[in-house]
């Protein structure tokens, strides 16, 4: 059963089909009106720009990346969509005000290591998990 | 980063205010597991030469960073094992005991362990001390034994806990790596106390040798050859961050 959404404003876009219409094979739902599909984008966290190189030894920054893009039906294989996301996207087509699209989010994350001084001048090396986006997908 | 349309070019971009920048930095520090921004003491200009602990840790960093991309792969560096936190300790007090011909000679290092985080499991701990070739003990085999000072007594010898024994030649040169992992069990019980590591050097005949004569360098060594301790931790699952 579908539950009514709370505090949700209807989206004023022209890309959503009518609830009683399913997209045909020639409908440019995927990548329509120039919107890019869910994928990974560059995001660099600079310890240098933060002014932290007085205590961070390495690295001077790292590429964290972020995910952005559309998760519209039909979800391509490149979108790394789960079965649930595929189902949710389909239901969104039928009930756009009740069920949102699947979210473009990280599906695989990796670690990054940081070498730094503490306030006692001890040198610390720590691996921080789930800091770097390796892959994005519709979930 | 949202799915909405981007603002047209020429629209004024909002810049973070000073307080927002501080808040942002505090958030990033929290992600890195730090309660605040570290403030290391800058060494005097004359001594800003590469120091032993940072040089060693930089090697470890390169090994760990090469492993970052694939958490499922085995560690490329044996010393790292499954450790994801490595701490080096350079602040120590050194004491030498070289008295008379009957007393055993020893060299002791006291480490401040108050920076060790709680809840971290120690996977390994090493004490690294540089050895130069001994010019006074030629062609002799030396036994270097390491003990933890458990309890000092004013009227008798301290209680010691055996940690490691290494055999080497008097002419050997390089970093001597002493395994002190067994001492880590006691850290949790006495975190407020300094960790005392005591080194004895003996010849094959059982004669006690001044560690300095054997070529072991202490704190007065050049910066790149000063002793330090390294501890490897496997982080316990982080507690959930408090909601902001």
What single string gives the DSSP state of each residue in B134-152? Answer: PSSSTT-EEEEEEEEEEE-
Would you place residue A23 in the very low, low, confident or very high pLDDT band (cuts 50, 70, 90)?
Answer: very low
Q: From A90, A68, A71, A91, select the one nearest A81 (Cα to Cα).
A: A71
Alpha-helical runs (H) found in chain A: 83-94
Residue B67 token pair: 């492993």
Q: Which of B3, B25, B64 shows the shortest C-beta gap to A113?
A: B64
| pLDDT over 70 at A61, yes or no | yes
Q: How far is CA B31 from the centre of its chain?
A: 23
Helix (H) or strand (E) holding B30, with range, is: helix B18-31
CA separation for the pair B142, B219 (Å, rounded): 22
Contact by Cβ (8 Å): B233, B122 = yes
Residue A64 token pair: 């964290």
Contact by Cβ (8 Å): A79, A38 = yes
Q: From B223, B236, B228, B170, select the one nearest B195 (Cα to Cα).
A: B228
Highest mean pLDDT of the ranges A19-28, B18-27, B72-81, B166-175: B166-175
- Averaged pLDDT, A42-50: 93
Residues of A in contact with B28 (CB under 8 A): 45, 50
Residue where the block lists tokens 């980063």:
B1
pLDDT at B88: 93
pLDDT tens for B155-207 read 888 889 999 999 999 999 999 999 999 988 777 666 667 889 999 999 999 99
B174, β-bridge pairs:
B131
| Residue B188 contacts A where some CB pair is shorter than 8 Å | no
pLDDT at B22: 84
The interface residues of chain B toward chain A in range 18-37, judged by CB-CB distance below 8 A, are: 25, 28, 31-33, 37
pLDDT at A73: 74
> What does pLDDT average to over chain B?
81
| Residue A42 contacts B where some CB pair is shorter than 8 Å | no
Please answer yes or no on whether A123 and B38 come within 8 Å at the CB atom: no
Residues of B in contact with A119 (CB under 8 A): 38-40
Residue where the block lists tokens 């050997």:
B172
pLDDT at B191: 63
* Percentage of residues of chain B with pLDDT beyond 90: 35
pLDDT at B189: 64
* Helix, strand, coil percentages in chain A from 3-state DSSP, rounded to 5: 15, 35, 55
Alpha-helical runs (H) found in A59-138: 83-94
pLDDT at B229: 93
Residue where the block lists tokens 């030894």:
A57
pLDDT tens for B130-139 read 999 998 877 8
Residue A124 distance to chain B (closest CA, Å)? 5
Q: Could you give the angle at the alpha carbon of B9 between the alpha carbons of B5 and B13, nearest 5°?
A: 85
CA separation for the pair B70, A129 (Å, rounded): 11
Residue of chain A whose Cα is closest to the Cα of B58? A115
CA separation for the pair B19, A135 (Å, rounded): 33
Residue A27 distance to chain B (closest CA, Å)? 20
pLDDT at B239: 47
Contact by Cβ (8 Å): B106, B210 = no
CA separation for the pair B186, B182 (Å, rounded): 8
Residue B239 CB coordination number (10 Å)? 7
The interface residues of chain A toward chain B in range 76-115, judged by CB-CB distance below 8 A, are: 104, 110-115
In 3-state terms, what secondary structure has residue B120?
A: coil
Residue A63 token pair: 């590429």
Contact by Cβ (8 Å): B113, B187 = yes
Q: From B128, B52, B58, B114, select the one nearest B86 (Cα to Cα).
A: B58
Contact by Cβ (8 Å): B111, B194 = yes
Q: How far is CA B185 from CA A126, B106, B123, B124, B191, in A?
A: 21, 24, 11, 11, 11
Helix (H) or strand (E) holding B63, with range, is: helix B52-66
Highest mean pLDDT of the ranges A81-90, B37-46, B90-99: A81-90
């Amino acid at each position: 059963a579908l539950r009514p959404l709370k505090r949700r404003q209807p989206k004023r876009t022209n890309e959503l089909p009518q609830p009683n219409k399913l997209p045909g094979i020639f409908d440019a739902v995927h990548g329509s009106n120039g919107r890019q599909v869910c994928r990974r984008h560059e995001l660099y966290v600079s310890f240098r720009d933060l002014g932290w190189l007085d205590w961070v030894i390495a690295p001077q920054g790292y590429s964290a990346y972020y995910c952005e893009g559309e998760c519209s039906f039909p979800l391509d294989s490149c979108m790394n969509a789960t079965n649930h996301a595929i189902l949710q996207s389909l239901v969104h087509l039928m009930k756009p005000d009740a069920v949102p699209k699947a979210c473009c989010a990280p599906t695989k994350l990796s670690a990054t290591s940081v070498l730094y001084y503490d306030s006692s001048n001890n040198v610390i090396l720590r691996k921080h998990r789930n800091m770097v986006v390796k892959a994005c997908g519709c979930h | 980063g949202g799915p909405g349309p981007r603002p047209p070019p020429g629209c004024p971009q909002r810049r973070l205010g000073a307080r927002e920048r501080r808040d942002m930095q505090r958030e990033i520090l929290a992600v890195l597991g730090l309660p605040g921004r570290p403030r290391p003491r800058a060494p005097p200009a004359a001594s800003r030469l590469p120091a032993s602990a940072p040089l060693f840790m930089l090697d470890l960093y390169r090994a760990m960073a090469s492993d970052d991309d694939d958490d499922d792969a085995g560690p490329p560096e044996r010393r790292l094992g499954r450790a994801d936190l490595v701490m080096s300790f350079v602040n120590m007090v050194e004491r030498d005991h070289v008295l008379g011909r009957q007393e055993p000679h020893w060299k002791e290092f006291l480490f401040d362990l108050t920076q060790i985080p709680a809840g971290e499991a120690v996977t390994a701990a090493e004490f690294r001390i540089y050895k130069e070739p001994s010019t006074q003990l030629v062609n002799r085999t030396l036994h270097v034994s390491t003990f933890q000072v458990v309890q000092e007594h004013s009227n008798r010898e301290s209680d010691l806990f055996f940690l490691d024994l290494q055999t080497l030649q008097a002419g050997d040169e390089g970093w001597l790596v002493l395994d002190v992992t067994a001492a880590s069990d006691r850290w949790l019980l006495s975190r407020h106390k300094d960790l005392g590591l005591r080194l004895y050097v003996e010849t094959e005949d059982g004669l006690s040798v001044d560690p300095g004569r054997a070529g072991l360098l202490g704190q007065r060594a050049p910066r790149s050859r000063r002793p330090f301790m390294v501890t490897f931790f496997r982080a316990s699952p982080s507690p959930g961050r408090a909601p902001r």
